[in-house]
Amino acid sequence: MPNPVQNISEDSITLIKSKIDDTIENGMSIRQALAEYSNSDAYDINWEVQAAVEALQVFGSRWTIEILSTLYIAGPRRFNEMKALLEGISSRTLSDKLTLLASEGLIN
């Protein structure tokens, strides 16, 4: 089990919130810059909802975040090394999830 949650200072929380706001603002700027290349409105809510649903289907499924976190933290690993790091995952599930993540372009 991971270590207990650490206390974060108010200054750090303020900085994190500021960075999140910056990310949202950058996303809006990118959307506006790309709008001229689109055949639809600058803000197509239907497309954005569908894109979010598709992304959440991948990221929301069991083991996906755990696998991506392991690869991010530990770097590239052989199959059995990944399985050892992911406590409780079956070989079949790991194989299926790696295949899904590769087909979605999230891993190579």
Domain check: are 76 and 95 in the same one?
yes
Domain check: are 61 and 88 in the same one?
yes
Q: Is residue 3 part of a domain?
A: no
Residue-level pLDDT at 42? 57
Provide the domain limits for residue 24.
8-43
Q: Is residue 33 part of a domain?
A: yes
What's the domain count of the chain?
A: 2
Say what percent of the chain tops pLDDT 70.
93
Domain check: are 27 and 60 in the same one?
no
Residue 106 has pLDDT above 80, yes or no: yes
Which class for 8: exposed (0-12), middle (13-18), buried (19 or more C-beta within 10 A)?
exposed
Residue 88 has pLDDT above 90, yes or no: yes
Paired tokens of 21: 């706001």
Q: Which residue, 56, 70, 67, is CA-closest to 96?
A: 67
Residue-level pLDDT at 49? 85
pTM given for the model: 0.60
Paired tokens of 87: 């406590």
Paired tokens of 5: 């949650």
